[in-house]
């Protein structure tokens, strides 16, 4: 079959948009944007998925009878594989049209943030449009040019926003449809979160309704998602349920995988697996792997049959069976290592590479680390290649859901199975402390490396530890996990480790907006991120230890100013009760009250009521701020 090459070939089209178009294209890209599309696990097994192109619903959609096609199926049924197959074979459609523009994006719930958010959807889609038909997005390039001239480099001085990219996308589609058809494929819509999925489905529905009838005939959109989300707002929309063709595909897969010993086994085992799979391809895949393992271990045909009969038919139950059977064979140390590895895969802020995980001491080299990943996860995690490394992820989104919602609590002997939120809090707590301990390593303190490559090469987990420990602390704090020992981990009242962290952050992400400023200390951090427990501990001991709570960082910002800027009223109250200066100015002469009012925060009222609080002590060009504060205060007190 002919396939369509959808790789990002910029071609000569970009030159038509001038010197800024290539840089604009780069600003829309991100490292992981094609990773899920390139994932071999969603490529159709030979001889499978062929039924899709002959399916009556698919043929009607392809013939413009319907503008939207939904591919639905329960977890593990291969929705992504079927959509990928449709994308790869779109040129087989008889009415593909002249010069079709084919666009695609694969959401990835186990991937990096941009792989699972609406912003991460529109950036690659506009990247593909700018690559192939740059003449339809002149406003996009013009906006990029203006931002660069006024603000500086993208991703350093400014970021693309979702709403503006959504507008550019809509206007570009309208222009494209004037001269050529569009085929758009979006996979795993549910993996961007229910609220986002509903919002996106509504947006696309509104887009279709706004198009003229001539354009409607030119656009084809294919989504895949789990069936529990009722996203197809049009009752007459075209829907294909994966289970309709999965039985034959499962049969093809199972018989091919077990062909090596089918002569000795007869057809009993393959037919048993096919019959029990109930249309769930992933179940069949896992059971085939288990059968092959049993065969390698010398199990007899009868023993294998008995094992299959005892395996649960639901995916979650099967996952639990695999984990428990493996756990029973492990020592306490290996169980602990297994739990921690699963916590890393579940709750890391982004997928971790083999090098990063190996820094935790799991293995001596990456090949051994890969074997450990498979063994410690009972085959439920895998290693996938990316542009510059090999990363670890679960084999399916349903596996992550299973661990977060059910299994991790079962692996914690001290917790009830229903305490899923406690498990999440504990996991984030442990990962945050692992990151802090890594930062505290004496080898890092003694390192002479002064650039990002040198540091991360010598200390593979350093980038992650530096940029993610706070995220884990915050996640743990929101689940009522106490952070009282945070100060001990940083050896407070010493600020040496905080300063080391700030210095390393400045090397690793020099131009990042969230880079901690010089002279930042622990009081700034706990106020900036609303960590009430550690803040109270600092305030209680401040006078005894001679700690200045009005201390300023390199921008003249105090702990109170950070809390006021973010609207953390509880932090503001704690600080004011301990007598901090409510009128301390930063080096732009702005006070905490100015920042609170500027953000429209309730904390402005707390500061305004403070006796002698200064409302508008700032330079002449900022005097409008005093009116803003007064208006805000008047409006709130009149409510």
Q: Do 286 and 402 meet the contact criterion of CB atoms below 8 Å apart?
A: no
Q: Do 250 and 285 meet the contact criterion of CB atoms below 8 Å apart?
A: no
Residue 312's H or E segment, with its range, is none
Which of the pair, 286 or 410, is modelled with greater confidence? 286
Structural domain spans, the chain: 13-241, 245-311, 531-639
What region, left, alpha or beta, does residue 12 occupy, with left being phi > 0 and alpha being psi -120 to 50 degrees?
A: alpha
The backbone torsions φ and ψ at residue 586, rounded to the nearest 5 degrees and listed phi first, read -85, -175
pLDDT digits (tens, 9 = 90+) for 517-575: 999 999 999 999 999 999 999 999 998 998 899 999 999 999 999 999 999 999 999 99
Stretch among 263-272, 295-304, 420-429, 488-497 having the lowest mean pLDDT: 263-272
Distance of alpha carbon 545 from alpha carbon 495, whole angstroms? 13
Res 10: pLDDT = 40
pLDDT level of residue 157 (50, 70, 90 thresholds): confident
What region, left, alpha or beta, does residue 434 occupy, with left being phi > 0 and alpha being psi -120 to 50 degrees?
A: alpha
Q: Is residue 629 scored above 60 in pLDDT?
A: no
Q: Is residue 2 scored above 80 in pLDDT?
A: no
Of 155, 223, 160, nearest in space to 188 by CA = 223
- Fill in the DSSP letter of residue 249: H
Instruction: Using CA atoms of 425, 426, 430, 432 in order, give the dihedral in degrees to the nearest 10.
Output: 10
Distance of alpha carbon 396 from alpha carbon 387, whole angstroms? 21
Judge whether 13-241 and 531-639 match in fold: no
CATH homologous superfamily for the domain 531-639: Ankyrin repeat-containing domain (1.25.40.20)
Q: Do 632 and 600 meet the contact criterion of CB atoms below 8 Å apart?
A: yes
What's the mean per-residue pLDDT of the chain? 86
Q: Crossing angle of helices 301-310/281-296, nearest 10°?
A: 150
Q: Do 291 and 308 meet the contact criterion of CB atoms below 8 Å apart?
A: yes
Res 233: pLDDT = 58
- CATH class, domain 13-241, is alpha beta
Distance of alpha carbon 83 from alpha carbon 104, whole angstroms? 10
HSE-CB at 546 with a 13 A cutoff on CA atoms is: 1
pLDDT digits (tens, 9 = 90+) for 608-618: 676 455 544 44
Distance of alpha carbon 424 from alpha carbon 518, whole angstroms? 32
SS3 for 187?
Answer: strand
Q: Please say whether the dihedral angle defined by the alpha carbons of residues 137, 140, 141 and 143, taken in this order, is positive or negative.
A: positive
pLDDT level of residue 94 (50, 70, 90 thresholds): low
pLDDT level of residue 335 (50, 70, 90 thresholds): confident
β-bridge partners, 225 = 72
The whole-model pTM stands at: 0.80
């Amino acid at each position: 079959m002919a396939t369509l090459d959808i790789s990002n070939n910029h071609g000569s089209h970009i030159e038509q948009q001038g010197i800024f178009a290539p840089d604009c294209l780069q600003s829309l890209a991100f490292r992981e944007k094609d990773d899920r599309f390139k994932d071999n696990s969603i490529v159709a097994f030979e001889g499978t998925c062929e039924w899709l192109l002959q399916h009556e619903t698919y043929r009607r959609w392809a013939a413009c009878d319907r503008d939207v096609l939904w591919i639905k199926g329960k977890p593990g049924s291969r929705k992504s594989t079927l959509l990928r197959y449709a994308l790869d074979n779109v040129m087989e459609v008889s009415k593909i049209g002249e010069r079709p523009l084919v666009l695609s994006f694969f959401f990835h719930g186990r991937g990096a943030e941009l792989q699972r958010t609406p912003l991460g959807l529109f950036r690659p889609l506009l990247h593909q449009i700018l690559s192939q038909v740059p003449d339809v997005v002149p406003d996009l390039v013009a906006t990029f040019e203006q931002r660069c001239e006024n603000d500086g480099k993208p991703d350093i001085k400014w970021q693309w926003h979702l709403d503006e990219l959504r507008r550019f996308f809509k206007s570009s589609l309208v222009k494209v449809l004037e001269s050529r058809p569009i085929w758009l494929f979006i996979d795993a819509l549910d993996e961007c979160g229910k609220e986002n999925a509903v919002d996106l489905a509504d947006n696309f529905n509104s887009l279709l309704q706004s198009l003229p009838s001539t354009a409607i005939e030119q656009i084809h959109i294919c989504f895949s998602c789990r069936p529990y989300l009722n996203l197809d707002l049009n009752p007459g929309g075209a829907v294909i349920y994966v289970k309709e063709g999965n039985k034959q595909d499962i049969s093809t897969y199972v018989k091919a995988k077990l062909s090596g010993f089918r002569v000795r086994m007869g057809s009993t085992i393959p037919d048993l697996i096919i019959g029990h799979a109930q249309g769930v391809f992933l179940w069949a895949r896992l059971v085939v792997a288990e059968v092959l393992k049993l065969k390698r271990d010398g199990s007899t045909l009868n023993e294998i049959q008995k094992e299959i009969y005892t395996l649960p038919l639901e995916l979650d139950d099967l996952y639990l069976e695999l984990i428990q059977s493996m756990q029973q064979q492990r020592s306490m140390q290996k169980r602990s290592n297994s739990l921690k590895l699963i916590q890393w895969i579940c709750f890391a802020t982004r997928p971790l590479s083999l090098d990063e995980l190996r820094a935790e001491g799991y293995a001596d080299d990456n090949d051994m680390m890969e074997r450990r990943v498979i063994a410690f996860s009972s085959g439920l995690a895998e290693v996938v290649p990316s542009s510059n490394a090999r990363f670890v992820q679960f084999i399916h989104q349903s596996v992550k859901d299973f661990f977060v919602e059910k299994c991790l609590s079962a692996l914690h002997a001290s917790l009830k199975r229903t305490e899923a939120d406690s498990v999440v809090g504990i996991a984030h707590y442990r990962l945050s402390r692992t990151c802090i301990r890594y930062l505290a390593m004496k080898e890092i303190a003694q390192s002479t490396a002064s650039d990002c490559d040198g540091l991360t090469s010598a200390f593979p987990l350093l980038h992650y530890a530096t940029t993610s420990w706070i995220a884990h602390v915050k996640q743990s704090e929101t689940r009522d996990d106490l952070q009282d020992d945070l100060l001990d981990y940083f050896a407070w009242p010493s600020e040496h480790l905080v300063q080391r962290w700030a210095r390393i952050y400045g090397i690793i992400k020099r131009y990042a907006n969230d880079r901690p400023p010089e002279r930042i200390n622990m009081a700034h951090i706990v106020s900036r991120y609303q960590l009430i427990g550690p803040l109270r501990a600092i305030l209680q001991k401040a006078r005894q230890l001679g700690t200045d709570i009005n201390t300023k960082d390199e921008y003249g910002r105090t702990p109170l100013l950070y809390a006021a800027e973010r609207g953390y009223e509880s932090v503001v109250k704690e600080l004011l009760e301990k007598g901090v200066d409510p009128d301390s100015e930063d080096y732009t002469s702005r006070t905490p009250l100015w920042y609170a009012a500027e953000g429209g925060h309730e904390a402005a009222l707390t500061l305004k009521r403070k006796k002698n609080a200064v409302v508008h002590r700032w330079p002449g060009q900022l005097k409008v701020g005093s009116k803003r504060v007064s208006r805000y205060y008047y409006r709130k007190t009149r409510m």
